[in-house]
Amino acid sequence: MEHQIFSKFIRFIEARLSPGGEFGLHLTAGLVLLLVSVAIFGELAEDVMGKEAITVLDAQVAHWFHARAFEPLTSFMLGVSLVHTGVGMVVLVAALGWYFWRVRARYWLLALLVAVPTGAILNVALKYHFQRVRPVFDEPLVSLATYSFPSGHASVATLFYGLLASYVMIARPHWHVRLGAAAACAMMILLVALSRVYLGAHYLSDVLAAMAESVAWLAVCITAISTLRRRREAKTL
């Protein structure tokens, strides 16, 4: 009896870690990533709303960057932020969507069109839920009337570049291409997050929470669409 239970358990684990199958490795990885990201976001949100030690660190980091702002770095950071807001993000999403359409990566196109817009809406909803005031300075580099937690720029950048990195990691066979794309996308996400903290638009915890939030949402979207693709492919066999 114990041997049968153990064998069933082993088969269950093997099925969850198998690259193939509707509920295999892709779903397991997605669920793990989702749970970890949600846990990180929850901890950050709890600490921020409870005014724990991280809020002290937030203030210290914000004032450190503000006191050391200089040209041409400030203009560069403003440019990075500008590219990843409003029209800039529409252009980036349209360009990547056109590429997916051209190479007939229709499920990736669907993931892009679902993940980024809905992720942006989720971010706005979270901002109004937490209603955290942005950093305040006597001579601010940027002035914004909206709420601070979590960062919208860091959120959409994580969604966009995270999805792009996921596509390259799956679609390209060469490891140097995969690692290069992953590193480049990670650098872009961190650069956007840094620009928001440097400009005094957000606290450190704002951008960290935004990245965790978007990783969780991206895991949901990619996993759901991957499951849809596998189901449809299984029906055609």
In degrees to the nearest 10, what's the CA dihedral of 195, 184, 122, 90?
Answer: 80
- Grade residue 8 by pLDDT with cuts at 50, 70 and 90: very low
Of 12-16, 19-23, 124-128, 177-181, the poorest mean pLDDT is in: 12-16
Residue 65: partners with Cβ closer than 8 Å, 6 or more residues away: 197, 198, 200
The predicted pLDDT at position 118 comes to 95
Quick check: helix, strand or coil at residue 9?
Answer: helix
The predicted pLDDT at position 10 comes to 39
**Pick from 98, 146, 141, 140: nearest CA to 120:** 146
The predicted pLDDT at position 237 comes to 53
**Pick from 149, 143, 153: nearest CA to 127:** 149
The predicted pLDDT at position 116 comes to 94
Q: What pLDDT digit, counting tens, does each position of 183-199 carry?
A: 999 999 999 999 999 99
Cα-based distances in Å from 90 to 94, 98, 104, 223: 6, 12, 20, 24
Q: What pLDDT digit, counting tens, does each position of 199-215 carry?
A: 999 999 999 999 999 99
Q: Can you give the length of the chain in residues?
A: 237
Q: Decide: 162 and 189 in contact? Cβ < 8 Å.
A: yes
More confident residue, 234 or 99: 99
- Give the CB-side neighbour count of residue 44, counting CA atoms within 13 A: 25
Kindly report the average pLDDT of the chain as a whole number.
85
More confident residue, 191 or 225: 191
Q: What pLDDT digit, counting tens, does each position of 104-153 carry?
A: 988 899 999 999 999 999 999 999 999 999 998 888 888 888 899 999 99
Of 37-46, 87-96, 115-124, 223-232, the poorest mean pLDDT is in: 223-232
More confident residue, 164 or 34: 164
| High-pLDDT (> 70) share of the chain, % | 84
SS3 content of the chain, % helix, strand, coil (to 5): 80, 0, 20
User: How far, in Å, CA of 38 to CA of 218, rounded?
Assistant: 12
More confident residue, 133 or 18: 133
The predicted pLDDT at position 235 comes to 62
